Structure 1
Amino acid sequence: MPNLPDGPKAPALLQLIEWIGEPVKYLETNAKQYGDMFSVNMTGFPPFVILSHPQAVREVFTADMKQFDAGRTNNILGAIFGDRSVIMLDGDRHKRERKLLMPPFHGERLQTYAQSICEITQNITQKWQKAQEFIMRQTMQEVTSEVILQVVFGIKEGERYQQLQPLVSEMLDNIASPFEASFMFFKFLQKPWIPGSPWNKMKQGNKQIYELLQAEIDERRNHQELIREDILSLMMLAKDEAGEPMSDQELKDELITLLIAGHETTATALAWAFYWVHHVPEVKQKLLAELESCGENPNPMTVAKLPYLTAVCQETLRIYPVGLLTFGRITNSPVTIMGHTFDKEVMLAPCIYLTHQREDIYPNPKEFKPERFLERQYSPYEFYPFGGGNRLCIGYALALLEMKLVLGTILSNYQLSLAKDQVVKPQRRGFTLAPNNGVKMIMDYQKVSQKKMVSVS
């Protein structure tokens, strides 16, 4: 293929298997050999170039969006998220959908979700037993699942809530291991006649969730008093410049995208955060001191603005970003990036992981050091855990708020420790880079003075 930089020469199928099974090793090995820009060849993907230099990332993120198509790079996700999901769209349709979705996730709206996040966290962690081992990632999955159901879907109780709750966890557990996640990359595994396959389980769970969401949408359309302050209600009320609301199919596709992308990624990031805080004692000491400075029953938004807590969350997202790559961009015409001209129909993918591991930006990148975010402000091309450009994650502000409040609430109320003094390593969990053992922890004791974050209206 002309005009492509050098890259690994292994057969396409072997490269895909390596990418699925050991993504970190695959990236680091090739970056070491080929540098900031290298081509990869994987079965089922177009010509594919991985970029990690901040200048290259900037040129991709700031380019005219008409130069690239990003939606069609996500075709492996279409069967899960639906064809009307914002991540599947390009051009004017993508612009319209983002404009409709953005308001509920930003500004003053976030304050209305803060108290719910704290209460959900407190309710779920009350089930912990002293000296009993538990897996932090599972607890965080419970928390983020409830946040999605209550804050995004606006469903807190009743039969529909009882049905949705287990379906959410079951569907995501079907892609928990690299082996189970492989169905997303191999078309021949996406067949209805393979009984008990992860693909069939995913599709079945997906269908049931869509039916429950449709019932919820129908009920709210027929009973306007059920329209509340949750994100689904706000999405139903939103109208584009022509005065048209989102269709039922658009609503359902966006909700399933928020469910899978928001629930899975935030749970994983929080599990990593608890690991690092307890793996590096001085980080925990500094963080506890900062939380103590807020006094009794602090306002959640005051906690969310704490600088060291914010730095801990940022460093968590830097060292092992939940997503290794941004969404790919396929060139619509020849495009020049850092002096290299790419032909039409080449996919460019900024690599979050490799950029975040650059020694020239982050000295000693394998070291967990939140202080680096207090000492320096990084550009959106040096630190971009939520992607960038016109594909910046819509829910990034809510995800960061959730990380800070869950971490702050638990550390203020419980003394925890790692169950084993061992190094936790990253492994693929579906779309994410997750801790390999889920982070096994022990609740040593519940603090005598229980803190509750209270909103002041």
Structure 2
Amino acid sequence: MKTLKGIKTHPLVQRLQWVFNPVKYMETNVQEDRDIFKTTVTGKGGLIFVNSPEGIQELLTHDTKEFSAPGSVNGILRPLLGDQSVILLDGDRHKRQRKLLMPPFHGERMRNYGELIQKITRSAAAKWKPGQAFIARNTMQEITLAVILQAVFGIYEGSRYDELKQLITSLLAVTDSPVSSSLLFFTALQKDWGAWSPWGRFLRIRQKVDKLLFAEIEERRQNWDENRTDILSLMMAARDEDGQPMTDEELRDELLTLLFAGHETTATAMAWALYWVYREPKVYEKLIQELETLPENADPMTIFRLPYLTAVCNEALRIYPVGMLTFPRVVKEPTEFMGYQLEAGGVLVGCIYLLHHREDLYPEPKQFKPERFLERKFSPYEFCPFGAGVRQCIGMALAQFEMKLALAQILRDYDLTLLEKTPVKPARRGVTLSPVGGIKMMMNGKRTPSKSVAVPATV
């Protein structure tokens, strides 16, 4: 049995490469072995990247046998999410919390948010002025933040809404570039030197957000309304098998988890989708033709089920998956994996980015081809932008719903031009991949439906 050899580059150099240019780091090292390689990006213990569908399936379906998925391996997110976040919990506590969180994100509940998402999208896009450039990701982030505050937090207007919107925008700035993201990866930088220091400023903003969220939870308890359908109210009403509700601290941490996991990521995915649609005229033409088959007031679920719209969104999530890695798994005891002997304590991740760029799964992987998803059905271990297994993203359904409805609304309402002269590259934003510069576009005017589709201009 073979021993998995690590990459020879110095651990500190590897970590810097991983933080500041993760795509190049992954694409360089996968040349050693396209299926699996060992790094030292997390220090001495190392991190093993698994890049084949067979390996990822084995990794994510043997959680209770050879591997475990302890929340502690996501410790770098603790300052953002808190101790009670489902992402940081293990075992029975994780199962309990996940069970309490699941109902609001499935089935009929999704319908409640469809018209809200469309309304928020129309409101955000209405701020565009003809002939004036805008940054696509900024608008998408405005949309997803409003969805989080209204559909998830259940806060629709007023001073608390305005204050939370401002504070959350500032809080998220801690991860808005590779440089600022380094605060998460290098704990030595997490020093409170006062309100003007980067970490000190973050902590003070976080305290203000906490205060507002606890006030909202307390007010909601005092004036309980069982008819509310926002996700916070549904979480407050949920009970575990012992009849116990979530504590205020658990509610606060899960709200922050949904904020960080569902706001930034969805905004980035939506921006990438807009970029590719307007970069590829044939994709735009085909998507507009599909959207024009809809009645003017189409039901959100009808839009959600459109096959080519779904294929476009899937291809955007494939080519630049927002999350690069699956939830880490830890080797419980010495075991054989993919022909290698692994020691107890080793940490493995499925590399979603490298999986999605395998030539044998996705011919010409650098090309944007939505038709892949019409011609073939991929397994959850071949296409997994939201992870897979027991740690799959809870907000997956809401993110997909939001992405499709927002993209469809914008395409039906506006005539846009992509202003990027060269291909937009991905860069680290926290633990995600985001477009450099945010994607510059211009609104030419309102779009009028017609049988002959005008192909968008690019610069």
* TM-score interval for Structure 1 and Structure 2 normalised by the shorter chain: over 0.9
Residues 194 and 201 of structure 2 are in contact (CA less than 8 Å); yes or no, is this contact kept in structure 1?
Answer: no
Aligned with 2:437: secondary structure? Answer: coil
Name 1:143's counterpart in structure 2.
143
In structure 2, runs of 5+ residues without a counterpart are 451-459
Counterparts of 1:113 and 1:428, CA distance in 2: 30
Counterparts of 1:191 and 1:294, CA distance in 2: 54
Kindly state the Cα deviation for residue 370 of structure 1 after the two structures are TM-superposed. Answer: 0.3
Query: Are residue 14 (structure 1) and residue 13 (structure 2) matched?
Result: yes
Change (3 A) 1:4 1:323: farther
What amino acid is aligned across from residue 275 of structure 1 in structure 2? Answer: Y
Counterparts of 2:438 and 2:21, CA distance in 1: 17
Name 1:311's counterpart in structure 2.
311
Quote the sequence identity (%): 52
What amino acid is aligned across from residue 276 of structure 2 in structure 1? Answer: W
Per-residue Cα deviation, 1:156-205 (whole angstroms, up to 9, x for no partner): 01111111011111111232110111010101100112653432232222
Name 1:271's counterpart in structure 2.
271
Name 1:361's counterpart in structure 2.
361
Counterparts of 2:444 and 2:258, CA distance in 1: 34
Name 2:53's counterpart in structure 1.
54
Aligned with 1:34: secondary structure? Answer: coil
Change (3 A) 1:194 1:346: farther
Query: Are residue 115 (structure 1) and residue 118 (structure 2) matched?
Result: no
Per-residue Cα deviation, 1:218-268 (whole angstroms, up to 9, x for no partner): 001111137610000000000001101111110000000101110000000
Name 1:155's counterpart in structure 2.
155
Aligned with 1:326: secondary structure? Answer: coil
Counterparts of 1:205 and 1:192, CA distance in 2: 13
Counterparts of 1:318 and 1:187, CA distance in 2: 32
What amino acid is aligned across from residue 56 of structure 2 in structure 1? Answer: V
Name 1:302's counterpart in structure 2.
302
Aligned with 1:370: secondary structure? Answer: coil
Counterparts of 1:344 and 1:122, CA distance in 2: 52
Name 2:251's counterpart in structure 1.
251
What amino acid is aligned across from residue 75 of structure 1 in structure 2? Answer: G
Segment drifting more, 413-422 vs 305-314: 413-422
Segment drifting more, 334-343 vs 254-263: 334-343
Aligned with 1:144: secondary structure? Answer: helix
Query: Are residue 37 (structure 1) and residue 36 (structure 2) matched?
Result: yes
Query: Are residue 337 (structure 1) and residue 337 (structure 2) matched?
Result: yes
Residues 273 and 316 of structure 2 are in contact (CA less than 8 Å); yes or no, is this contact kept in structure 1?
Answer: yes
User: 1:115-134 maps to which residues of 2 (within 5 A)?
Assistant: 115-134=115-134
Change (3 A) 1:45 1:120: farther
Name 1:394's counterpart in structure 2.
394
Aligned with 1:224: secondary structure? Answer: coil
Name 2:202's counterpart in structure 1.
202
Counterparts of 1:79 and 1:373, CA distance in 2: 38
Query: Are residue 381 (structure 1) and residue 381 (structure 2) matched?
Result: yes
Counterparts of 1:336 and 1:232, CA distance in 2: 43
Query: How many matched pairs?
Result: 449
Name 1:191's counterpart in structure 2.
191
User: Following TM superposition, where does structure 1 have runs of at least 4 consecutive aligned residues deviating by more than 4 angstroms?
Assistant: none
Kindly state the Cα deviation for residue 42 of structure 1 after the two structures are TM-superposed. Answer: 2.5
Aligned with 1:241: secondary structure? Answer: coil
TM-score, normalised to structure 2's length? 0.95
Change (3 A) 1:216 1:379: same
Aligned with 1:437: secondary structure? Answer: helix
What amino acid is aligned across from residue 50 of structure 1 in structure 2? Answer: F
Q: CA-atom RMSD, angstroms? A: 1.6
In structure 1, runs of 5+ residues without a counterpart are 451-457
Aligned with 1:442: secondary structure? Answer: strand
Name 2:214's counterpart in structure 1.
214
Segment drifting more, 338-347 vs 100-109: 338-347
Aligned with 2:32: secondary structure? Answer: helix
Name 1:455's counterpart in structure 2.
none
Name 2:93's counterpart in structure 1.
93
What amino acid is aligned across from residue 30 of structure 2 in structure 1? Answer: A
Change (3 A) 1:331 1:299: same
Segment drifting more, 268-277 vs 327-336: 327-336
What amino acid is aligned across from residue 61 of structure 1 in structure 2? Answer: L
